[in-house]
Amino acid sequence: MKISLDELLKKKLTDEIIIFPTDTVYGIGCRMDSATGVEKIYAVKRREGKKPLPVLVGNRDDAKRLSENFATYAAYADAHWPGALTLVVRKSQAVPDYVTRGLDTVGLRIPDNAIARAILNRFGPMAVTSLNHAHEPPITRFADAEAFATLVDYTLEGGNLKTVSSTVFDVENRKTLRQGTVVVHALPDSDD
């Protein structure tokens, strides 16, 4: 169902999945604490079951709560958040294993999009991935996103977006896993 941001923010989300714009591409997401929602995302995307989902957050406090040592990546966050950089960090126990598929790391990002941040600040951290079927290009046009509307609970329009997904950077190994528009230069080891 197509819905406005104001209408969505009045809802109570539990296991619903939604399509919404980010600063890069359209995302499909659910509350991070919904195992049912996470499994729905895998089904809609036809995503490989062992591949983890990233988590989008609306603010740094949530990022700190979901990671073991924010200080190890604070400089990257300072330089690029909100923005198109997903940081792979050691997860805290607050991140469910069904989101990370048992890995001890999680990809975190604060998107630079007012609609996305309003959703995240209202409903909390969300497991979100690009809207597309696995191995197909991410959706950047709302007209294309609407093809998925019958497979999700709510769809929010955000116009046409950029064509490049976020850069994914593994903080612990100081390695770019996927290059997007953000170029990350490894920082020197911290004394923490």
Looking at residue 192, its pLDDT comes to 44
26: left (phi over 0), alpha (psi -120 to 50) or beta: beta
Looking at residue 30, its pLDDT comes to 98
pTM of the model: 0.93
Q: What is the pLDDT of residue 164?
A: 87
Question: Which residues is 127 bridged to in the sheet?
Answer: 30, 55
Residue 27 has pLDDT above 90, yes or no: yes
Position 130 scores a pLDDT of: 95
Give the Cα separation of 107 and 53 in Å (integer).
8
* Position 182 confidence tier, pLDDT thresholds 50, 70, 90: very high
Predicted pLDDT at 31: 98
For residues 124-153, give the mean pLDDT.
Answer: 95
Percent of the chain beyond pLDDT 70? 96
- Token digits for 99? 């989101």
**How many Cβ atoms from other residues are within 10 Å of residue 181's Cβ?**
15
pLDDT of residue 186: 64
Tell me, what DSSP letter sits at residue 33? T
For residues 40-53, give the mean pLDDT: 93
Q: What is the mean pLDDT of the chain?
A: 94
Q: Quick check: 190 pLDDT over 90?
A: no
pLDDT at 185: 81
Find, among 10, 111, 17, the residue nearest to 59 by Cα: 111
What is the Cα–Cα distance from 169 to 88, expressed in whole angstroms?
Answer: 6
- Tell me the C-alpha distance between 16 and 36, whole Å: 8
Helices (H) and strands (E) in the chain, counts: 7, 9
189 Cβ neighbours under 8 A, 6+ residues apart: none
pLDDT confidence tier of residue 2, bands split at 50, 70 and 90: very high
pLDDT at 191 (0 to 100): 46
* H-type alpha helices, 125-184: 142-145
pLDDT in tens, 89-129: 999 999 999 999 999 999 999 999 999 999 999 999 999 99
Q: What is the per-residue pLDDT for 187?
A: 64
CATH class, 5-178 region: alpha beta
